[in-house]
């Protein structure tokens, strides 16, 4: 289903002023509004023409493995060729290695359009961009020369290889080993599982970034190093990395999720020994932002289907009287509970999109600026990343389930297409770190370990957004609610930290509730910005544009009055403490 170009432009120009943002960064030939619009238009033509038809095909055909060779669904390879020939792979890459040098955030707009069209296909080039980020940050000059150019051209693709069968999310348990070779390379041996895009027929080579242990490395994550292990080595020979299986999955059938076997495969150390987790987090953090975006894209597509169906499906009469008296029944969009379902979806999708666009600007500042400004942006982005990944995927999954509910029984069957988004989106709450891991990361690392520096930065943003909203003639009460929420949020973090000092189990017990509370608070701040921009634009608009902007204001109020109160339940759950979770022993818990 298509992304909402109208909403993308509104956020890009009216809410966040991306053209002004790029100028403030001092970017050479900073993209102006006209260039941004032209990129959106061209990307939309490509994604709707080439990718959108593949979404259903990829789901139905899936990937096939024969003699170690993975064949992607019909049309996937041709679309990838079009992607490469259109120059999309190099959009934001370093000019020194063949990139076009545009700011990284522009790739978010492209990613959104591609994900809305076909999320499974988009993961193939999407992982390449993560590999580029990691190698650009941590690779040697020689490695950059060897690997970045073909990755940026799209001639090669990339992956990240962390998970092993016995370890799951506990990467410190990894057993894959790397033995030094006489020429300075390494022989990498081990098995990695759940490797998205690990083998395919779209490109001639795949650059695997693999976590492995050197001989005598310390135990745990302190002993992990990162290696480049190409499918085809630099001399053109086939490396000894093979696909042993592709997983039979609940969804995302068009993307090959592989078991990869490395049998003394030739690899190249990236950065310093035993610093692999630090290096890999460059790729992982970028991927977590993209997974949050994936959630919003799947929810957007499901919402588009639900809106069309709700306007067309005739069933029952409105309780306040017939709204379509010339028809045998009213369209279901007139019924309050259907509107609850639709408005919940819209509030999640449009608020989540605003959050992603805001984070894109923060990420730009972290990489393009220097000194205290860059440090502040980095701290803010570190704080936002688990919130974006954890809460947006959970809410997106809820949104897609709401779309099925709008369809009723027709949503549960395959022909309407909406059930695919529920299956596809389910993985987004799991890969790149489950929601539980995101909660621990936020509360443990981004709050307690650093004395909440990112939260303090963001609370300043909350106050700013609340003050702007309080100047509104019609939305001032929402600004007051937002400021009160910000005050409560800061106090809650202090209270949870105090409990954790007495009992560390309180961190795990409170973490997901704190994550979701934080997500609702961040989305409220985004909706405040959107409401201020919509009211400002409304003063100068007419016709259909007024309908769009009034819809923004109505959805902002719906969010504050219907969804934001969920924070009270999360707060109560946190304050109940860890005893109701940890008081029962394992034997009693298992005695069902």
Just list the catalytic residues: 432
Three-point CA angle 305, 309, 313, nearest 5°: 170
- Torsional class of 315: left (φ above 0), alpha (ψ -120 to 50), beta (otherwise): beta
Alpha carbon 482 to its chain's center: 25
Alpha carbon 34 to its chain's center: 27
Taking the C-alpha atoms of residue 187 and residue 175, their distance in angstroms, rounded to an integer, is 14
- Name the 3-class secondary structure at 14: helix
Phi, psi of 200 (to 5 degrees): -170, 175
Taking the C-alpha atoms of residue 180 and residue 212, their distance in angstroms, rounded to an integer, is 12
Name 192's bridge partners. Answer: 260
Taking the C-alpha atoms of residue 298 and residue 1, their distance in angstroms, rounded to an integer, is 9
Taking the C-alpha atoms of residue 85 and residue 65, their distance in angstroms, rounded to an integer, is 27
Helix axes 105-138, 54-61, angle to 10 degrees: 50
Taking the C-alpha atoms of residue 17 and residue 11, their distance in angstroms, rounded to an integer, is 8
Other CB atoms within 10 A of residue 506 CB: 22
Residue 199, C-beta contacts closer than 8 angstroms, at least 6 positions apart: 65, 68, 69, 70, 206, 231, 243, 246, 256, 258, 260
> β-strands 241-246, 205-212: how paired?
unpaired
Phi, psi of 258 (to 5 degrees): -110, 150
Q: Which residues of 60-88 are buried (b: 16+ CB within 10 A; e: fewer)?
A: ebbbebeeeebbbbebbeebbeebbebeb
User: Would you state the torsion angle of the CA atoms of residues 262, 263, 264, 266, taken in this order, to the nearest 10 degrees?
Assistant: -40
**Burial environment of residue 505 by CB neighbours within 10 A (0 to 12, 13 to 18, 19 or more):** middle
> β-strands 156-161, 205-212: how paired?
parallel
Name 228's bridge partners. Answer: 209, 268
Fill in the DSSP letter of residue 434. -
Taking the C-alpha atoms of residue 52 and residue 121, their distance in angstroms, rounded to an integer, is 10
């Amino acid at each position: 289903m298509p992304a909402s170009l109208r909403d993308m432009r509104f956020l890009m120009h009216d809410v966040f002023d991306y053209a002004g943002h790029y100028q403030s960064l001092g970017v050479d030939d900073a993209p102006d509004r006209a260039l941004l619009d032209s990129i959106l238009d061209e990307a939309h033509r490509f994604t709707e023409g080439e990718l959108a038809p593949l979404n259903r095909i990829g789901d139905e055909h899936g990937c096939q493995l024969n003699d170690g060779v993975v064949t992607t669904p019909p049309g996937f390879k041709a679309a990838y060729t079009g992607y490469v020939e259109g120059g999309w792979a190099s959009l934001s890459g370093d000019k020194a290695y063949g990139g076009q040098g545009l700011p990284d955030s522009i790739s978010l707009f492209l990613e959104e359009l591609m994900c809305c069209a076909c999320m499974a296909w988009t993961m193939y080039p999407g992982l390449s961009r993560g590999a580029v980020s990691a190698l650009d940050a941590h690779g040697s000059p020689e490695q950059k020369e060897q690997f970045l150019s073909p990755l940026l051209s799209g001639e090669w693709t990339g992956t990240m290889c962390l998970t092993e069968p016995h370890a799951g999310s506990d990467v410190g348990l990894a057993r894959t080993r790397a033995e030094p070779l006489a020429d300075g390379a390494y022989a990498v041996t081990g098995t990695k599982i759940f490797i998205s895009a690990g083998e395919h027929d779209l490109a001639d080579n795949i650059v695997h970034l693999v976590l492995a242990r050197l001989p005598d490395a310390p135990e745990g994550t302190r002993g992990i190093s990162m290696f480049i292990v190409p499918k085809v080595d630099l001399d053109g020979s086939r490396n000894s990395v093979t696909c042993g299986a592709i997983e039979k999955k609940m969804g995302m059938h068009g993307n090959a999720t592989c078991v990869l076997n490395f049998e003394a495969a030739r690899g190249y150390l990236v950065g310093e020994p035993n610093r692999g987790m630090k290096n890999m987090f460059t790729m992982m953090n970028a991927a977590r932002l993209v997974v949050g975006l994936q959630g919003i894209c799947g929810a957007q597509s499901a919402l588009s289907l639900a809106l069309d169906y709700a306007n067309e499906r005739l069933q029952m009469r409105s309780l306040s009287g017939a709204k379509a008296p010339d028809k045998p029944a009213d369209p279901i969009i007139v019924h309050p509970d259907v509107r609850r379902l639709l408005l919940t979806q819209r509030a999640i999708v449009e608020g989540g999109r605003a959050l992603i666009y805001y984070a894109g600007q923060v990420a730009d500042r972290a990489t393009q600026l220097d000194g205290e400004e860059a440090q502040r942006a980095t701290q803010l982005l570190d704080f936002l990343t688990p919130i974006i990944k954890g809460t947006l995927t959970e809410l997106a999954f809820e949104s897609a389930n709401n779309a099925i509910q709008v369809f009723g029984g027709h949503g549960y069957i395959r022909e309407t297409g909406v059930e695919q988004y529920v299956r596809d989106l389910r993985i987004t709450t799991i890969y790149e770190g489950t929601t539980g891991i995101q909660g621990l990361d936020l509360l443990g690392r981004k709050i307690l370990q650093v004395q909440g520096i990112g939260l303090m930065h963001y609370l300043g943003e909350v106050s700013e957004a609340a003050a702007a909203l309080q100047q509104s003639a019609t939305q001032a009460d929402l600004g007051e609610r937002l400021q009160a929420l910000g005050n409560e949020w800061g106090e809650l973090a202090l209270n949870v930290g105090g409990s954790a000092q007495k009992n560390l189990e309180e961190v795990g017990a409170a973490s997901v509730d704190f994550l979701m509370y934080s997500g609702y608070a961040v989305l409220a701040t985004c909706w405040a910005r959107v409401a201020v921009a919509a009211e400002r634009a409304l003063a100068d608009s007419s016709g259909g544009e007024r309908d769009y902007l009034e819809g923004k204001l109505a959805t902002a109020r719906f969010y504050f009055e219907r969804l934001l109160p969920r924070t009270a339940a999360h707060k109560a759950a946190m304050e109940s403490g860890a005893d109701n979770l940890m008081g029962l022993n394992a034997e009693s818990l298992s005695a069902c």
